[in-house]
Structure 1
Amino acid sequence: MSILIDKNTRVMTQGMTGKVGQFHTLGCLGYANGANCFVAGVTPNKGGQNFEGVPIYNSVLEAKQQTGATVSVIYVPPAYAAAAIDEAVEADLDLVICITEGIPVHDMIRTRDKMKGKRTLLIGPNCPGLITPDEIKIGIMPGHIHKKGRIGVVSRSGTLTYEAVGQLSALGLGQSSCVGIGGDPINGMKHLDILRLFNEDPETEAVIMVGEIGGSDEEACARWIKDNMKKPVVGFIAGITAPPGKRMGHAGAIISGGQGGADTKLAVMEECGIHITRNPADMGRVMQKILGRS
């Protein structure tokens, strides 16, 4: 079992003919069932070509109609990436994963507004993607560190996603699905959206939730967990030492107006019953302990 994607998912790559799109699509094709899952590429005016046997189409709608793909992954340059999301939403895809970093905020504000009333789900932008181990990966994460198991992982940070996964795999606790939601201030699915899916997934036993300074999404998710979550959650917040008002890495990682600090987030999370750790090296061990497998 998994959330959002599995071995039967059919995927198209937007930006297939670019160097980045080809590099990461090649990695996804070589992982688990990827050769069957990745069925199309999209680049305007490049239709009729192919990459590693995957046909390329001029538009998302054409790729969907010709191949049945219902999920898109975007490696389009920042200036055009929001428009690529818009095209996927207009084609009524199930899910869009935008890997692109550096999309102008005003572009994403317009795109999020256009998505109102639409059914398409968005992960990202500025995210590593998602993976269901031994079935399919969509994005830039290293597939070899993942191991099939029963722990869900959701994270705003790409590298800390890999850290959590690596620890779980090393301890013999694999992952059911792993989702990197990205760190931009205007994005798609939030921690809360992913936790809802993990809560209903019978094959997910517990969840690691990695947040960052900035915004209030983690606090909102923690309060929902307190009232609704049926499974244990381990939490970590990156940016404990970040000074207020200074942007740290991700565009959304900024403490402003006295809100968004790591200590505040951790306090709310702990108050809501999340098993927090202040050391990123301990995420796996904390999970192991609460599951009684240490």
Structure 2
Amino acid sequence: MTILIDKKTKVIVQGATGHQGSFHTKLMKEYGTNIIAGVTPKKGGQEVHGIPVFNTVKEAQDFNPADYSILFVPARFAKSAAFEALDNGLNLVIISEGIPIHDSIGIMNKAKENALTVIGPNTPGIISVNECKIGIMPSHIFKKGKVGIISRSGTLTYEIVNELSKNKLGQSTVLGIGGDPVIGIDFIGALKLFEEDHRTEKIVIIGEIGGDLEERTAKFLKNYSKYVVVYIAGRTAPPDKRMGHAGAIISAGIGTAKSKINKFMSVGIKVAQLPSEVVRLLK
């Protein structure tokens, strides 16, 4: 088992004819992801790396129904593209960054109404190793194994995955939940799925400053059945200054690295001081 996606998952790419969409469509296809169609308005009838392109999501779904859509569209068009996918029964991976918070709230509300999953926005995506990749993660660093990873940070994900792979600690599914203040599936939602996944034995959470998601996650982990290791980025970040992601900001003393680390430690979760320490804590 894996979580959310596997080798049977069928995917469409919204924005497949753009530079980034085309580039990553090729890489996802080469990894083995079952990409069945692209969607770009007014580009229907074209092909991208042998994949047919349609004008609308409905046309693509009528051609061959998919399970997920990945969005490579400018932020100003993300809401309408997401709504189009959700209206056609598709789960979403939203790569786009800079989406207005109000638009993201609308996307999440619609997904909830339709009982569909949203990964992101501002995410590197998701990979179930050696089965399916929906996103922009560098495929070569992943090795199949029994460690699940949930992360707010793309770059740190790659660093920690690379260290795990070099130390023969392979991964089951690696999920980037996104760095924006409003996201779809979060740490807690992913942890629930990993708890039911018999292939995942240990879990790494990569958090960062800003918001209270990590604090709420620590409370959830109090009675969790699997072994979890945490790393929190942004220990030296000054108050009221955004660091990288839109969600990575400390305000009025809330969301500090110290508060998050203390919450995890208070429920018995081991917290790495450096990304390189994650390997040691997992062994």
TM-score (norm 1): 0.94
Distance 1:126 1:171 in 2: 29
Which digits, 9 at most, give the CA deviation of each residue in 1:89-127, with x for residues without a partner? 11111x200001111222212323333422111000100
> What residue is the counterpart of 2:44 in the other structure?
47
The aligned amino acid for 2:16 is: M
Distance 1:207 1:193 in 2: 13
The aligned amino acid for 1:256 is: S
CA-CA distance at 1:248 after TM superposition: 0.6
Distance 1:154 1:114 in 2: 24
Distance 1:91 1:190 in 2: 23
Distance 1:187 1:104 in 2: 12
SS of equivalent residue, structure 1 residue 12: strand
Which digits, 9 at most, give the CA deviation of each residue in 1:55-109, with x for residues without a partner? 111111221221121111110011101221111111111x200001111222212
Contact 2:16 2:22 in 1 (8 A): yes
> What residue is the counterpart of 2:64 in the other structure?
67
- Report whether the alignment pairs 1:102 with 2:59: no
> What residue is the counterpart of 2:18 in the other structure?
18
The aligned amino acid for 1:74 is: L
Contact 1:64 1:70 in 2 (8 A): no
Kindly report structure 1 stretches of 4+ aligned residues shifted beyond 2 Å. Answer: 109-116
Contact 1:49 1:55 in 2 (8 A): yes
Which digits, 9 at most, give the CA deviation of each residue in 1:155-185, with x for residues without a partner? 0000111112111101101001000011000
The aligned amino acid for 1:159 is: T
SS of equivalent residue, structure 2 residue 276: helix
SS of equivalent residue, structure 1 residue 280: coil
Query: What does residue range 68-217 of structure 1 map to in structure 2 within 5 Å?
Result: 68-93=65-90, 95-217=91-213
Distance 1:180 1:268 in 2: 22
The aligned amino acid for 2:106 is: R
Contact 1:92 1:119 in 2 (8 A): no
> What residue is the counterpart of 2:272 in the other structure?
277
> What residue is the counterpart of 1:292 in the other structure?
none
Distance 1:50 1:2 in 2: 31
Contact 1:212 1:262 in 2 (8 A): yes
Distance 2:214 2:67 in 1: 29
Distance 1:286 1:167 in 2: 12
Contact 1:164 1:208 in 2 (8 A): no
- Give the aligned length: 283
Gaps of 5+ in 2: none
| % identical equivalent positions | 49
SS of equivalent residue, structure 1 residue 45: coil
Gaps of 5+ in 1: 289-294
Return closer, same or farther for 1:135/1:115 CA change in 2, 3 Å cut-off.
closer
CA RMSD of aligned residues (A): 1.1
SS of equivalent residue, structure 1 residue 248: coil
CA-CA distance at 1:49 after TM superposition: 1.2
Distance 2:44 2:116 in 1: 24
Distance 1:76 1:283 in 2: 35
The aligned amino acid for 1:166 is: N
The aligned amino acid for 1:111 is: I
- Report whether the alignment pairs 1:259 with 2:254: yes
Q: 2:55 aligns with which of 44, 54, 58?
A: 58
Contact 2:150 2:175 in 1 (8 A): yes
Distance 1:175 1:55 in 2: 32
SS of equivalent residue, structure 1 residue 4: coil
